[in-house]
């Protein structure tokens, strides 16, 4: 799928599901990592994570588009467009927009560092490196040792 097809799909979903036109741009952003997509407040554009399409297909992208269009239409109308707002929750449930998209990588797949407590032996898996001079075991307050880098 390319950006042109994504734009047409977004316009179609906007008209059929929300009964309102989408007058801005929708495109893939390869730099997105942790989110399925995002609605940009300043430009009113929608960016979609291309990895979601590669991993889960067109149906996942449709769900992400619906979610981002909820933000878009509510923001344009001056209503509550944030996740915690009642307007957003109501529109999401009416349109069948999911709250979250599927994770591309699990936490376990992203782990790079494993630490072990020198006192009680508890293990801690972390994505980012931890300063072992400042951090300590959450169970017994013992000293952490870097066990291995993955």
Residues labelled catalytic: 68
71 appears as a binding residue in the annotation: yes
Q: What is the b/e burial string over 1-27, where b = at least 16 CB atoms within 10 angstroms of the residue's CB?
A: eeeeebbebbeebbeebbeeebebebe
75 appears as a binding residue in the annotation: no
* Residues of each annotated binding site for Zn(2+): 67, 71
* Residues of each annotated binding site: 67, 71
């Amino acid at each position: 799928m390319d950006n042109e097809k994504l734009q047409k799909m977004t316009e179609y979903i906007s008209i059929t599901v929300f009964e309102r036109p989408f007058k801005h741009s929708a495109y893939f952003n390869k730099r997105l990592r942790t989110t399925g997509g995002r609605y940009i407040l300043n430009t009113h554009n929608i960016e979609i994570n291309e990895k979601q399409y590669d991993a889960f297909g067109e149906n996942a992208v449709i769900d992400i588009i619906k979610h981002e269009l909820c933000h878009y239409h509510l923001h344009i109308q001056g209503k509550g467009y944030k996740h915690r707002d009642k307007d957003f929750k109501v529109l999401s449930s009416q349109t069948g927009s999911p709250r979250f998209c599927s994770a591309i990588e699990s936490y376990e797949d992203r782990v790079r560092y494993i630490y072990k407590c020198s006192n009680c032996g508890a293990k801690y898996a972390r994505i980012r490196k931890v300063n072992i001079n400042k951090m300590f075991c959450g169970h017994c307050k013992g000293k952490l040792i870097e066990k291995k880098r993955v």
